[in-house]
Each structure stands twice: as C-alpha cells, then as structure tokens.
Amino acid sequence: MNAPLLEVRQLQTHYFTFGGSRIVKAVEGVSFALQEGETLGLVGESGCGKTTTCLSIVGLLPPAARVVGGEIRLNGADLAKKSKREMRRLRGRAIAMILQDPMASLNPLFSIYTQVAEPAYYHLGMRGRSLRRRVEELLRAVRIPSPAARMRGYPHQMSGGMRQRIVGAIALAAGPKLIIADEPTTNLDVTIQAQYLDLLKDIQEETGVALIFVTHNLGIVARMCNRMAVMYAGRIVEMGAVRDLFDAPKHPYTKALLGSMAKLGSKEPLYAIPGQAPDLVRPPPGCAFHPRCAEAMPRCATQDPEVFQSGPGWTTRCWLPHLAATVIHDRATA
C-alpha cells in the first residue's frame, strides 16, 4: 500500500470570535487519508466543518480561526507547521482550490490569459511563448471553444459555466497533485453542472490528480467519488467506500441523509431529520448527533462514541455498531 498523498490526523480548528470570548469548535478531531488519484467526497450540511477543514489544509483560514491541534501531512511533510512563505509556494503548485462562486473567484479587471497564466508563471517560471501555449492547452483541456480568442477576453463576458471551467483551468495550471473543490457546482444550472462534473472526471482520469469534493449533495458524491466522509458538528461520523455507505450505512446520520434525498420518480415520503444543527460553542455532551438521532441509546448522551471499524477502510463513529458487535460476540461465545 503506497504512502497516502494527504494524511490528516486529529485536526482541530477553532474560531475565536467576539474577542476570544466565544470559541466555535468548527473542526474537532478530523482524520482521513487520501491516496494519489483518489476522489474523496466530504459530505455534510452547513456548519459541519467541511469548508473549515479544507481551509485548514491549504492554510487559508480567516484571522479569527486557528489550527489548535493535529497534523496535516502532504507527502509526509506537516503543513500545519509550515511558514506562510512555504505555504504560498505550495498553494497552486501542489494543492489547488476551486470555490463555489466563479464570479468571485475571478478578478474582473484582468484578462482570462493573465489569470490562467499566473500559477504557471509564478510556480513553474514559464514565460513568453511556452506560457501562451500552456494557457491554450489548459483552456482546451477544460473544453473552452476557440481558446486562443477567448484568452484575451474578460470574465464578465462569459457565462457561469464557462467561468467555472476557467477556474478549473487556473487550478490545473501548475500541475497540482491535489485539487480541493468546495461546492463548485452549486451555482450552476443542472445541465451545466452535469457537463462540468463530466469534465472533472475526465481531467482526473487524464492527469491522475487527487480530488477532495466538498458538497452537501449526495448525488454528486454518488457520481464522482470513490470514497466519502460524512461530517457532523466538526467530526467525521462515517467514512468509507461510497458503495458501502450507500448500500448499508451504519451511522444514523448517514442513514438520515440518504433517506432525505428525493429519488427521481419516487413518491416515497422523505425522511425529515427532526431538530437542527448543534451549537458548536456549547455542543451537547456525548455524541453530537444524539438529540436528533432516531436510534439513540442512553450511552450516547454521556459518552463520545469511539471509532468502530465496520470493514476494511470503513469507519463509523457510533455506539450502535459497538453494541451490535458485542451482541454477536456474546452470542458466538455463549
């Protein structure tokens, strides 16, 4: 088994608001590993900590937030310990990001050429004709028609779908090993979204780049990812192969998310999870999900669940599989 490209161990990131009097525990002990060329879906609803996890990895946390614990190892080196200058050299070169709003990601004052060329210029030192060829190549890779002409244009002249592709081209410009895509298709129309996802899949197959896809939409995960990690209240509650989690989810939150998805053509009633997301300043004791869990046991309200190995590469942070395992064990040894 090769060494993973990215390994996050017990990451903790907190937001210090109101002058430090209110600490929001946005990420509380997140651990996962990503192999080269793999696609990991980071799933969860707003406030679960998935964006904060990504920002922690690339070192772009807002001033009020800080990584207070854990390690982020990219090819062995701990990113949490790197200086700002070292992180700047890494960003764009080894790790690239694609964000949700393409209009906000592009600078309206600079031409497409300037923006797509920037990472190659800065990180790879390319200049002149080879740089121009590289930009054309990239625009062609993201399927922008007539790239040579489009290069000279500006972001406001393009549609949302095209802009998002250009953001993708910028991400690829310096040949990163890892791309983190944070809800890149939320603002796009359905058919444009489908085209874009097809594109990302193709690019991944061609370049072998690893992809972390952050989304709250399980449909995207089903389509794009090999593995998925479900986050709730700053922790990963279940992680494993996408097929395993879709077929036989072990964590009640995963089950609830799958149950709340509307399936095309089906009128089956949707499972509506009662209650709302927990307060991350004062999270409930024990398991953060227990107030809303349909299968909660008394133990869940007092003890934070331990990770359970549900299968190879499949972990569940819940007391239920622990209980099931002891029952089986008792029966077996009786």
Partner 1 sequence: MTAPLLELDEVRKYFPVGTGAFFQRKTAWVKAVEGISFVIATAETLGLIGESGCGKTTTAKLILRQEQPTSGTIRFNGEDVCALKGQALMRYRREVQVVFQDPFGSLSPRMRIGSIIAEPLEIHTNLSRSAMRERVAEVLELVGLQPDVANLFPHEFSGGQRQRIAIARALATDTRLIVLDEPVSALDVSIRAQIITQLEHLQRTLGVSYLFIGHDLATVAHISHRIAVMYLGQIVETAESTELCARPLHPYTQALLVAALPAHPDDKRERLALSGEIPSALAPPSGCRFHPRCPRAMPRCAEEAPVRREVTPGHAVSCHLY
Partner 2 sequence: MSTTTAPQSISVKAPNQVWRWLRELPLLPILILVPFVLAAALAPLIAPYDPTEPVPGAKIFEPPFWMEGGTTATLLGTDFQGRDLLSRLIFGARVSLIVGLMGTVVAGGLGTALGILSGYLGRWWDQCIMRLTDAWLALPALVFAIFLATVVGPNMWNIVLILGLVYWTRYARVIRGEVLSLREREFVQLAEIAGASRQRVIFRHILPNVLNTTMVLASLTIGVVIIAEASLSFLGVGVPPPEPAWGLMLSEARSTLMAGKWWLTVFPGACIVLVVLATQLFGDWLRIRLDPQLRNL
Nearest Cα to Cα of residue 51 among 106, 13, 9? 13
- Cα 79 to Cα 167: distance, rounded to the nearest angstrom: 24
- What count of other Cβ atoms lies within 10 Å of the Cβ of residue 191? 9
18 binds partner 2 (CB under 8 A): yes
Q: Which stretch binds partner 2 (CB under 8 A): 122-130, 179-187, 244-252, 269-277?
A: 269-277
130 binds partner 2 (CB under 8 A): no
46 binds partner 2 (CB under 8 A): no
- Cα 308 to Cα 251: distance, rounded to the nearest angstrom: 10
The strands making up 22-34's β-sheet, listed across from edge to edge, are 22-34, 6-17, 65-74, 77-78
- Out of 272, 312, 330, 331, the only residue in the binding site for partner 2 (CB under 8 A) is 272
Binding mask 56-75 for partner 2 (x = CB under 8 A): --------x-----------
269 binds partner 2 (CB under 8 A): no
- Out of 108, 125, 269, 274, the only residue in the binding site for partner 2 (CB under 8 A) is 274
The nearest distance, CB 240 to partner 1, in angstroms, is 12
- Out of 275, 331, 333, 334, the only residue in the binding site for partner 2 (CB under 8 A) is 275
- Out of 260, 276, 302, 326, the only residue in the binding site for partner 2 (CB under 8 A) is 276
DSSP 93: T
Buried b (16+ CB within 10 A) or exposed e, 69-88: ebebbbeeeebbebeeeeee
Count CA atoms within 13 Å of residue 316 on its CB side. Answer: 21
Q: Which of partner 2, partner 1, none does 17 bind, CB closer than 5 to 8 A by kind?
A: partner 2
Q: Which of partner 1, partner 2, none does 266 bind, CB closer than 5 to 8 A by kind?
A: partner 1
What SS3 state is found at 83? coil
- Cα 178 to Cα 187: distance, rounded to the nearest angstrom: 23
Instruction: Enumerate binding residues for partner 2 (CB under 8 A).
Output: 17-18, 64, 272, 274-276
